[in-house]
Amino acid sequence: MNDLSIAQRIRQALGQLLGEQIDAIGPADSFRDFLGERFDSLMAVEVITAIEGAFDIEVDYLSDDVRFWFETLEKMARFVEQKQEDQLTLRGAP
């Protein structure tokens, strides 16, 4: 089991996309506000793909409110936590 928190693992995954800039983004900072024009639709998809890969989850672009959940690191962590709980429930874990 990985000892890193969900938030730390998100930072690690996104660090490969954003480099050292990820260290300057606070938990509640909006990616769009912080990165400006750099955070375009392609970057948004890259962020989502990185999170999917890091946590072995699947984001449904139609039913998951990606504009809301992928706005800040804090919201991403809550989203991942909910997805992981859903996976446990579907697998029948206690």
What separation in angstroms does the CA of 79 have from each of 17, 28, 63, 72?
A: 20, 14, 13, 11
CA 26, CA 91: separation in Å to the nearest integer?
34
Note the pLDDT of residue 1. 42
User: What is the pTM (predicted TM-score) of this model?
Assistant: 0.88
What residue ranges define each of the domains in the chain, with the CATH number in brackets? 6-91 (1.10.1200.10)
Chain segment 22-61, per-residue pLDDT in tens = 999 999 999 999 999 999 999 999 999 999 999 999 999 9
